[in-house]
Amino acid sequence: MPTNVQNSHRPTERPDPDALLARVQAAAAREQRAKLKIFFGFAPGVGKTYRMLQVARELAQDGVQVLVGTVETHGRQETAALLQGLEVLPRRVLMAGNVVLEEFDLDAALLRRPRVLLLDELAHSNVPGMRHAKRWQDVLDLLEAGIDVYTTLNVQHVESLNDVVAQITHVQVRETVPDSILERADDIELVDISADALLQRLQDGKVYVPEAAVRATQHFFQRGNLLALRELALRRTAERVDADVLEQRADQGVNAPWPTSERILVCVGPSPASARLVRTARRLAAGLHAKWFAAYVESPLRPLTEAQTQRVDAHLRLVEALGGTVVRLVGAQPSAALLAYARTNNVTRIVIGKPTHSRLRDFLRGSLLDEVVRGSGEIDLHVMAADSGSVAEAPPQAPRAPLKLGAFGTALAVVAAGTSLAWLGRAALALPDIVMIYLLGIIVVAVRTGIGPSLLAAAASVAAYDFFFVPPFFTFAVSDARHVLTFCTMFVVGVSMSTLMVRIRRQEQDARAREARTSSLFALSRDLSSARDVSNVAAILCDHVARGFAGDVQVASGGDGHLQPLAQTGAWPPDSTDEGLLQWVAAHGREAGLGTATLPGSRALCLPLPEHAEGRTVLAIVPQSGEPLDGQALASLQAYVRQGALALERARLATAVNAAELRAKTEEMRSSLLSAVSHDLRTPLAAITGAATTLRADERTLNPIQRADLVEAICEESERLERLVVNLLDMTRLESGQLRVKREWVPLEELVGSALNRLELRLGAREVSVQIPAGLPLLHVDALLFEQALLNLLENAVKYTPADSPIEIHAAQVPAGVEVAVVDHGPGLPDELAGRVFEKFVRGSHVGVSGAGLGLAICKGILDAHGGTIAILPTPNGGATFQLTLPPTRGPAATSEEGTTQ
């Protein structure tokens, strides 16, 4: 059914190109996707199965692979004969206690993947324990898997016609199929015979009637019923044909008379009659091609009982099943909330139920219907009759605060105190003043306690007032009729006050609950906004859902049927059935599990997050209570999941961008590295190869001194090569971000000593002075890396300064942390290198100095990784000073001498 036609249509001669394109694409998608064909009839026995098998046989003869999922022949010879030669899928056998149950095997069918699958009786309810509760859900799975499905359906099973059929036949049909399935159908074939012919067939015994249902069926198969049902079926099919024709006309740009875009709002409440209202609205909407909404107004003044909440939830689920949009409104005045919503959303018609309660209640509480009628203005109103069979609704019981005896005691104490006060001051007080004292007492009790104690206080006040202060004293007799009025006033004030207080308190509780929900959602979004990556987001979502809904939670993600848990709460119970549930939700993108229509027997409720490139993410929750979530909690959970989905998407994008940037940077670095080091690698290799080959070829002609010289050259060049390789590796590790800084508490002396030790040979006799103040705190650094940085600086000094010039190392504690300086007294930094020394492959152009120009770049990388800085300054009197600064750190645990007693 072209549900979006009216939206895309414009009243012009030429069809809107965008809309046309959308239709072409939709048509192409329909060609691609699996087809659903429904054989539609008005009653059992009209020959739907027979017709379906006929069509299937024709297909099979044409070479199409047809598989029979289930077909009920009901013992009819002709039908059974048609089954001959068609392949029938074995049924799955389930044991339920001692009873053997057979059911259509969905998994086997999905594995077999036939071109066309026959599945009789679309409205069938599966036996408990199967994947879905209803067969039509199986059909959706099959279609999604690309398998064409042929199925049969009777008109009384159509959800939106369900109550109409019930009115006609007085038989309540429990197995229904949502209208969306009929709309999804690519082809609906009406299988029709006249009512008389059907009755004839019934008499001939051609229609199988199960013994148990004989009476009901006899009722059902009355001629009048059949005629009405037939009309219903024909009309439903005609509607469908009508829609097809309209679509066709729109395709061809025919300027057809078009209903203005109607929007229908149906008001749903806890009354069982609401289901009928919903169906009516659905039919009205279908007839008008209108979008429809169902609103439920939650009133903080009148909280619903458990049973009422469940009924409202059921009605709203029905709305969703029928393709409507659910709107939950909140307002103390339902009519105002409804009308406000209707106006902001351009609703043209409101569907509302007739009141079933007494006029008195309207008088007391105001009538929703009256208020809507008065306020509706230009909006049309459809007032529907309530179901004649609807149960009389018990008035909603306000949740009583637990009765506390203490509160009654308080009430009496307050009255007693008031009485004493009045008694003591009776000489000075007039009677009205005493009444005021009692009223004050009643108000105090009402504010502090509930209705019961307030009533008691009111009654006790009246009694005490009468007894002590109203003449004749110390009797309950009243001499003057005026006092009766005072009594009544006191009592009424007491009752009204306490009622008001209770109401205010309830509102406050409600507001608090709402506030808690809002603030928890806010907390979630705040935490999510700080999350960096996908697993972080998943962990936060998990944590918040677990806390907000009291359950164990898992978030998993993946494609191709392999789900990887991204995050889960500590107690997430591993269970193979949960796995299956998660897989199903990931594959189909619909809610499933506890409290839903799919796999309702699961312990977990599983919700999908929107699809992304790497597959789908799902969230599963196992409530600690083991009970399904109620409608409000579910809506709230959905809000959580939506927030989480947005954050996940953001994190994924960020990760992708980062990865791309890193790749580009790595690539750039690699190429510059290659070009720069190829020369530096080849030079020592050439020297080694030269020396070694000389030794091999001219062993005899070389004198011992020459040979020693060559061997020395090989050793030196090898060392140089090694240093280069080490530097390259360090640089690569630093730049690729793979470097892990393993911080430890180290005295600077040790690092300096170790670096000098490693450089012993190259330092030779050079003077190195080390000045480290005694009180210098331990450094919190990666010992290996920091020593490497010192080593590079020392090496640098050795390389670029004359062999006899001294090197100094000193350190100091400064407000900015710890400063370490390596000072040389060489020629200092050439001007052309200023500002570039810490870049890669930048080096001084000294004769006889080798190196790739990586040492200082590595130093900078190491300091960066420690959150420190490196700077180069001129040494007074010539030379260069490299100054390292490490940020201040809090010291480690004291190095006490525990356990050292000897």
Partner 1 sequence: MTATDPLSPLVLVVEDEPQMRRFIRTFLGAHGYRVLEASTASEALLLATSHNPALVLMDLGLPDGDGISLTRSIREWSKTPIVVISARGREDDKVDALDAGADDYLTKPFGVNELLARMRVALRHASTAPVEQELDLGGLRIDFARREVTRDGQPVHLPPIEYKLLTLLARHAGKVLTHRQILKEVWGHGAQEQAHYVRVHMAELRKKVERNPARPEWLVTEPGVGYRLRDRSVGG
- Per the CB < 8 A criterion, the answer to whether 813 and 863 are in contact is no
Question: Which 370-409 residues touch partner 1, going by CB under 8 A?
Answer: none
Among 732, 754, 805, 885, binds partner 1 (CB under 8 A): 754
Nearer to partner 1, 89 or 752 (CB): 752
Where on the phi/psi map is residue 95: left (φ > 0), alpha (ψ -120 to 50), or beta? beta
Question: For partner 1, which stretch binds (CB under 8 A), given 83-91, 373-381, 740-748, 827-835?
Answer: 740-748
- Which residue lies nearer to partner 1 by CB, 433 or 749? 749
CB of 752 to partner 1, least distance (A): 6
Q: What is the largest CA-CA distance in the chain?
A: 150
Edge-to-edge order in the sheet of strand 605-608: 564-568, 551-558, 616-623, 605-608, 592-593
Contact of 773 with 821, CB cutoff 8 Å: no
Stretch that binds partner 1, among 276-284, 344-352, 547-555, 739-747 (CB under 8 A): 739-747
Q: Which residue, 560 or 898, is less far from partner 1 as judged by CB?
A: 898
| Between 302 and 723, CB nearer to partner 1 | 723
Q: Residue 654 and residue 660: Cα distance in Å, rounded?
A: 10
Nearer to partner 1, 380 or 719 (CB): 719
Q: Burial code of 325-355, b = ≥16 C-beta within 10 A, e = fewer?
A: ebbebebeebbebbbebbeeeebbbbbbbeb
DSSP-H helix ranges across 289-333: 306-321
User: At its nearest, how many Å lie between partner 1 and the CB of residue 763?
Assistant: 9
User: Is residue 28 a contact point for partner 1 (CB under 8 A)?
Assistant: no
Report, in Å, the least distance between residue 800 CB and partner 1: 21
Q: Is the peptide bond before 472 cis (omega within 30 degrees of 0)?
A: yes
Rounded to 5°, angle at Cα 23 from 281 and 20: 115
Which lies closer to partner 1 via its Cβ, residue 12 or residue 901? 901
Q: DSSP assignment, residue 125? A: B
The nearest distance, CB 854 to partner 1, in angstroms, is: 15
C-beta closer to partner 1: residue 266 or 752: 752
- Could you write out the DSSP letters of every residue in 54-65? HHHHHHHHTT--
Q: For partner 1, which is the closer residue by CB, 281 or 691? A: 691
Minimum CB distance to partner 1 smaller for 253 or for 777: 777
Interface region with partner 1, contact rule CB under 8 A, candidates 300-308, 513-521, 647-655, 750-758: 750-758
Smallest distance from partner 1 to CB 863, Å: 18
Of the candidate residues 722, 804, 839, 864, the single one contacting partner 1 (CB under 8 A): 722
Residues 224-259: b if buried by 16+ CB within 10 A, e if exposed: ebbebbbebbeebbeebeebeebbeebbeeeeeeee
| Cβ proximity of 411 and 449 under 8 Å | yes
The count of other CB atoms within 10 Å of the CB of residue 769 is 10
Rounded Cα distance, 412 and 636, in Å? 44
Nearest residue (CB) to partner 1, 613 versus 893: 893
Residue 535 and residue 871: Cα distance in Å, rounded? Answer: 38
CB of 855 to partner 1, least distance (A): 16
Q: Does 718 bind partner 1 (CB under 8 A)?
A: yes
Q: How many residues bind partner 1 (CB under 8 A)?
A: 35
Tell me the closest approach of the beta carbon of residue 900 to partner 1, in angstroms: 4
Give least dist CB 876 to partner 1, A: 23
Of residues 243, 676, 756, 871, which one binds partner 1 by CB under 8 A?
A: 756
Among 224, 737, 753, 802, the residue binding partner 1 under the rule CB under 8 A is 753
d(CA 820, CA 794): 12
- CA separation for the pair 154, 45 (Å, rounded): 10
Cα→Cα distances 600→106, 504, 581, 805, Å: 17, 39, 10, 84
- Considering beta carbons, is residue 287 or 747 the nearer one to partner 1? 747
Region binding partner 1 by CB under 8 A among candidate stretches 88-96, 560-568, 718-726, 799-807: 718-726
Between CA 334 and CA 270 the distance in angstroms is: 13
**Smallest separation, CB 563 to partner 1 (Å):** 33
Question: For the chain, how are helix, strand and coil distributed in percent, rounded to 5?
Answer: 50, 15, 35
Q: Which residues contact 474 (CB under 8 A, 6 or more apart)?
A: 467, 468
Give least dist CB 768 to partner 1, A.
Answer: 7
Contacting residue, 245, 256, 726, 816, with partner 1 by CB under 8 A: 726
Shortest CB 853 distance to partner 1, Å: 21
Between 491 and 745, CB nearer to partner 1? 745
Q: Is there binding between residue 478 and partner 1 (CB under 8 A)?
A: no
Nearer to partner 1, 416 or 726 (CB): 726
Among 64, 729, 741, 873, binds partner 1 (CB under 8 A): 729
Over the window 873 to 892, marking each residue x when it contacts partner 1 by CB under 8 A and - when it does not, the resulting string is: -------------------x
If one asks whether residue 744 binds partner 1 (CB under 8 A), the answer comes out as yes
Q: Name the DSSP letter for residue 467.
A: I
User: Closest approach of Cβ 747 to partner 1, in Å?
Assistant: 4
* Residue 749 found at the interface with partner 1 (CB under 8 A): yes
Q: How far is the CB of 677 from partner 1 (least distance, A)?
A: 18
CB of 873 to partner 1, least distance (A): 22
For every residue of 367-419, DSSP letters joined together read -HHHHHHHH-TTSEEEEEPPPTTPPPPPPPPPPPPPP-HHHHHHHHHHHHHHH
Please state the closest distance from residue 765 (CB atom) to partner 1, in A. 12
- Going by DSSP bridges, is the β-strand pair 349-353/92-96 parallel, antiparallel, or unpaired? unpaired
What angle (nearest 5°) sits at the alpha carbon of residue 133, between those of residues 130 and 138? 75
Query: Which residue, 62 or 897, has its beta carbon nearer to partner 1?
Result: 897
Q: Residue 107 or 722: which CB sits closer to partner 1? A: 722
**Residue carrying structure tokens 């509780």:** 509
Angstrom distance (rounded) from CA 498 to CA 410: 14
Integer-rounded Cα Rg, in Å, for the chain is 43
What would the x/- binding string for partner 1 be over residues 71 to 110, using CB under 8 A?
A: ----------------------------------------
Find the binder of partner 1 among 78, 107, 750, 839 (CB under 8 A). Answer: 750
Q: Which is nearer to partner 1, 766 or 846 (CB)?
A: 766
Q: Which of residues 757-816 bind partner 1 (CB under 8 A)?
A: 757-758, 760, 768, 770, 772, 778, 783-784, 787, 809
**576 lies in the site for partner 1, by CB under 8 A:** no
Could you give the CA distance from residue 861 to residue 739 in angstroms, rounded to a whole number? 10
Minimum CB distance to partner 1, residue 880 (Å): 21
Nearer Cβ to partner 1 (399/888): 888
What is the number of other CB atoms lying within 10 angstroms of the CB of residue 204? 8
To partner 1, the closest distance from the beta carbon of 730 in angstroms equals: 8
Our CB check for partner 1 shows the closer of 638 and 757 to be 757
Q: Which residues are CB-neighbours of 520 under 8 A, at least 6 positions away?
A: 544, 547, 548
Distance CA 463, CA 770 (A): 99
Q: Tally Cβ neighbours within 10 Å of residue 703.
A: 8
Q: Does 895 interact with partner 1 (rule: CB under 8 A)?
A: yes
Per CB under 8 A, residues contacting partner 1 are: 718, 722, 726, 729, 733, 744-747, 749-750, 752-754, 756-758, 760, 768, 770, 772, 778, 783-784, 787, 809, 892-893, 895, 897-902
